[in-house]
Amino acid sequence: MIIDLHNHILPGVDDGAMSMEDAVEMAALAARCGIRKIVATPHYQYGSSASIEALEDTFATLSSALEYEQIDITLEKSMEIMASDNLPELLQQGKVWTYPNSSYFLVEFAHDEERDYFDWLLDRCVDAGFTPVIAHPERYHAVRRHPEMAQQWQNKGYGVQVNRDSLLGLFGEHPFYCADLLLRKGWANCIASDAHTPQFRNPHWGEAFRQLPGVYGFHTLAYCLETIPERILGNLPLFAV
Ligand SMILES: [Fe+2]
């Protein structure tokens, strides 16, 4: 089952889908491309995000709309959590959403975050009982300068999620070079859309499915879009030990 673990499909709660109509269109586009499950991951920034109640309501409304429109997508909910010093406490207190019934959580960092901060924070989250999935490492200047950071995350069993559009070169050469390197080296283990709208940064996978298997191989694509996402949602170790 192809799963998109990073998607801003919930309407009106962040800079993603603007309306319920856009959200339904995004799901329909993904379904046509063979995606069977989308995890909605609205941005969460400590102190400034939509309330949990608003997210719950929007999720329920969109789930009903997809059922009414008979769109063959299972919708799940999580968050893309902006790194903050108190993230371990937020996770322990249940104030942010992990992946459903899983200890994995999707986390993003400021693009210019200092190298040391990543592991300072991630280690504390792991000590608190949670496992990171690092969103779009190719966007972080520290990772571009030190791509072995992703290798270390991979070795620790973290999710390392590159954006599909980075691999397609749609964000420019620097994210492309980094995402490409991580995938070729085996230091990224997940690919997601990070879709925001039905048009630009969209949930359409056609171009990716045409281009990427020829570059990275079908096995890599299946691993990054099915195997690893299933393990994250199943709360299983990413690698057999
Ligand atoms: Fe995102």
Distance 133 CA to ligand 1 centre (A): 12
Pairing of strands 43-44, 2-7: unpaired
pLDDT at 183: 98
Number of CB atoms found within 10 A of residue 169's CB: 14
Q: In this structure, are residues 196 and 16 in contact, taking their beta carbons and an 8 Å threshold?
A: yes
pLDDT at 203: 87
Distance 194 CA to ligand 1 centre (A): 5
**Angle, alpha carbons 191-1-12 (nearest 5°):** 60
Furthest-apart CA atoms within the chain: distance in Å: 48
pLDDT at 106: 98
Tell the CATH superfamily of the 2-233 domain. Answer: Metal-dependent hydrolases (3.20.20.140)
Separation between Cα atoms, residue 226 and residue 209, nearest integer Å: 14
Distance 241 CA to ligand 1 centre (A): 30
Distance 4 CA to ligand 1 centre (A): 12
Distance 5 CA to ligand 1 centre (A): 10
Q: What is the CA radius of gyration of the chain?
A: 17
Distance 120 CA to ligand 1 centre (A): 22
pLDDT at 199: 87
What string of pLDDT tens digits covers the 241 residues of the chain?
Answer: 999 999 999 999 999 999 999 999 999 999 999 999 999 999 999 888 788 999 999 999 999 999 999 999 999 999 999 999 999 999 999 999 999 999 999 999 999 999 999 999 999 999 999 999 999 999 999 999 999 999 999 999 999 999 999 999 999 999 999 999 999 999 999 999 999 999 888 989 999 999 999 999 999 999 999 999 999 999 999 986 5
pLDDT at 94: 94
Distance 78 CA to ligand 1 centre (A): 11
pLDDT digits (tens, 9 = 90+) for 12-47: 999 999 999 999 999 999 999 999 999 999 999 988
Distance 226 CA to ligand 1 centre (A): 19
Q: In this structure, are residues 66 and 29 in contact, taking their beta carbons and an 8 Å threshold?
A: no
Separation between Cα atoms, residue 52 and residue 203, nearest integer Å: 24
Distance 28 CA to ligand 1 centre (A): 19
Distance 12 CA to ligand 1 centre (A): 15
Distance 191 CA to ligand 1 centre (A): 12
Where are the strands (E) in the chain, listed by range?
A: 2-7, 35-40, 43-44, 74-77, 80-82, 104-108, 131-135, 159-163, 190-192
Please tell me the pTM assigned to this model. Answer: 0.97
pLDDT at 241: 55
- Phi then psi dihedrals of residue 17, to 5 deg: -50, 135
Distance 41 CA to ligand 1 centre (A): 7
Distance 52 CA to ligand 1 centre (A): 18
pLDDT at 200: 83
Number of CB atoms found within 10 A of residue 129's CB: 10
Distance 106 CA to ligand 1 centre (A): 9
Q: How many CA atoms lie within 13 A of 75 on its CB side?
A: 26
Distance 165 CA to ligand 1 centre (A): 12
Domain limits, the chain:
2-233
pLDDT digits (tens, 9 = 90+) for 80-90: 999 999 999 99
Residues less than 5 Å from ion ligand 1, measured at CB: 80, 194
